[in-house]
Structure 1
Amino acid sequence: MPYDHLHRPRTARRPLALALTVLASAALLAGCGDGQAAQPGGHTPGKGGGTTGPRTTGGPTAPGDPSPSATATATTAGAGPLAGRTVVIDPGHNPGNFRHTSEINQKVDIGTGRKECDTTGTSTNAGYTEAFFTLDVSHRLRDLLTARGATVVLTHDADRPWGPCIDERARIGNKAHADAVVSVHADGSGTGNRGYHVILPALVKEGSADTTAIVGPSRELGRNIVAEFRRATGTAPSNYIGSGTGLDVRSDLGGLNLSTVPKVFVECGNMRDPEDARLLTSAAWRQKAALGLADGIETYLEG
Structure 2
Amino acid sequence: MGKLYVVGTPIGNLEDLTPRAARILGEVSLIAAEDTRVTRRLLSHLGIHVPMVSYNEHNKHQRLPALLEDLGSGDLALVTDAGMPAVSDPGSDLVAQAAAAGFQVEAVPGVSAVTTALSMSGMSGDGFLFLGFLPRKARERRTKLEGLTESTHTLVVFEAPHRLKATLRDILAVLGEREMSVCRELTKLYEEVFRGTASEALAHFREPRGEFVLVIRGVTPTAAASGPTDDQLEEAGQRLASLRKDGVRAKDAVAQVSDALGMTKNRVYQMWVESGRTTR
TM-score (norm 2): 0.24
Q: Under a length normalisation based on structure 1, what TM-score does the superposition of the two structures give? A: 0.23
- Higher percent of residues as helix: 2
Instruction: Determine which structure has more spread, i.e. the larger CA radius of gyration.
Output: 2
